[in-house]
Structure 1
Amino acid sequence: MPPALAYCFAKQNQHTPALAVNGLKAENLTEEFRKVNVLMKVPALKDGSFTLAESIAILLYLVQKFKTPDHWYPADLQKRARVDEYLSWHFMERNCLPLHKQNVLLPLITGQPLPPEKLELATEELNVALKEFEEKFLQDKPFIAGSEVSLADLVALVELMQPVCAGYALFEERPALAAWRSRVEEAVGKELFLEAHQDIMNVKNLTADQFAPELLESFKQHLLKQN
């Protein structure tokens, strides 16, 4: 799950215990970072002597420690269940991240274009997931849990920004989804949302020499195993 998620939520609620690292410089691959997250992945959180990994766990920790406004993770049992339902289903590993990796990172790192059939398959799978999202989770509601924005909406939109940044115009022919996106961005703050996604929005303009060598090799081995 993207670091933008924890960053965006923490800043929106004026809390910043999330550990900031520069992924392009492979700061998450250092021994110092290993002390925070032995898996050496971002995002990670360090709050005093307490450390935590994984975006959803970080979000729930921030909600409960800092008593953020109720709408983010409602006390109402059924509204909270709607949030949990989406968080149990979410897009990322199955749909959004594969398209981003294949269409952006693989060509960047290997220097080889993505075979059209692989891009087509990843796009088809994302289209199916988007249909499920609209019909099951969003329906005709302003937000996933009802009339107010929640963690579920923030997680969903941040995940969908992965294929958007890979060049997939998924909102263009989906007016209900586009209207939902506008509501979520407005609730979070458009400037903050853009700030959180600044790096990923520019990823298509990067060249391989802008990555730390150890990060480049790590990405390459991981992507080649999957493809």
Structure 2
Amino acid sequence: MSTRRLVEVHLDLLSQPCRAIHILLGCNGIPHTVRPVALRKGEHQTPDFTKLNPMQKVPVLEDNGFVLTESDAIMKYLCTRHNVPEHWYPRQTERRARVDEYTAWHHTNTRPHAAKVFLLEVLIPLRTGSAVDEERLFRALSELEDTLDRLESMFLRRQPFLCGDDVSVADLLAVCELMQPLGAGRDVLQRRPQLQRWRSRVQSAVGDAFDQAHAVLYALRDRRAAKL
């Protein structure tokens, strides 16, 4: 009798989408093996990894010979493939469409705008040794504020989570992006009580998996604070 292999996920937990997948796997108890890929060491550019994903990006999922890239596709695949509560990616057509609506919007709004703040405030100074470009950072923060306005007015409105009354993959993708600027000690939700309450609800819904996934980000924040 053949034995099914565990799902393998190639992740770097400093990557926001990787953390979302890590949380989904952890809080649902999906058996898996994590294959760490250190982006800062260029491990995503090795021949073996390039063969796995020619785009040289994480995350990547391997499931019994099936290889899948892109966080959105991976999370929806996991929800469909494994016995997870339906609220993560609903089967009912309209409810599923709401999740798809947010995740489509996410990739041109929440993701690039939060990531740009982290890029300008953390990654570029680390890689180049240069000071933060305050003018570019100001513009990036302004773009992110517009996105936060939209999250409140379009998606949360009168509901506790982005796509309804319970947590979904949309919330994981969004919250991991909005946590990313914390690597520089910046809480972009500091003056946003509605979004703070939403973040707390997401944390409560996933339990310890949230802090486990974000441990590397917290460590980066603490190291930077110790140098100031």
Please tell me whether the aligned partners of residues 152 and 195 of structure 2 are also in contact (alpha carbons under 8 angstroms). yes
| Change over 3 Å in CA distance of 1:184–1:93 after alignment to 2 | closer
- The CA distance in 1 between the partners of 2:46 and 2:223, in whole Å, is 22
Structure 1 unpaired stretches of 5+: 208-227
Query: Within 1, Cα distance between the matches of 2:25 and 2:215?
Result: 16
1:28 aligns with 2:32: no
Contact 1:43 1:55 in 2 (8 A): yes
Q: Deviations over 1:184-226 (max 9, x none)?
A: 011111x21111112223335669xxxxxxxxxxxxxxxxxxx
* 2:138 maps to amino acid: E
Match for residue 195 of structure 1? 212
Separation of aligned partners in 1, 2:217 and 2:41: 14
1:145-203 Cα distance to aligned partner (Å, 9 max, x none): 221111111111011111232332222211111111010011111x2111111222333
TM-score (norm. length: structure 2): 0.84
**1:67 deviation in Å?**
3.1
- Which residue does 2:156 correspond to in 1? 138
One-letter amino acid of the counterpart of residue 157, structure 1: V
- Which range is displaced more, 193-202 or 104-113? 193-202
Distance 1:115 1:23 in 2: 23
Shifted more, 24-33 versus 48-57: the winner is: 24-33
Alignment root-mean-square deviation, CA: 1.8
Q: Which amino acid aligns with 2:196?
A: A
| 2:202 pairs with one of 184, 193, 201 | 184
Task: Report SS of the residue matched to 1:143.
Answer: coil
Tell me the residue number matched to 2:89.
Answer: 73
CA 1:35/1:60 → structure 2, altered by over 3 Å: closer, same or farther?
Answer: same
Partner Cα separation in structure 2 for residue 201 and residue 2 of structure 1: 16
Show the counterpart of 1:218.
Answer: none
**Structure 2 residue 179 is the aligned partner of structure 1 residue 161:** yes
Number of residue pairs matched? 206
Instruction: Give the unaligned 5+ runs of structure 2.
Output: 1-15
Per-residue deviation, 1:38: 1.3
Q: Which residue of 2 aligns with 1:6?
A: 21
Identity of aligned residues (%): 39
Which residue matches 1:100? 118
Considering fraction of residues, name the structure with more strand: 2
What's the TM-score once normalised by structure 1's chain length? Answer: 0.84
Output the CA distance in 1 between the equivalents of 2:70 and 2:34.
11
Q: 1:85 is matched with which residue: 91, 96, 101?
A: 101
Q: 1:62 aligns with which of 56, 72, 78?
A: 78
Which structure 1 residue ranges, 4+ long, deviate > 4 Å from structure 2? 204-207
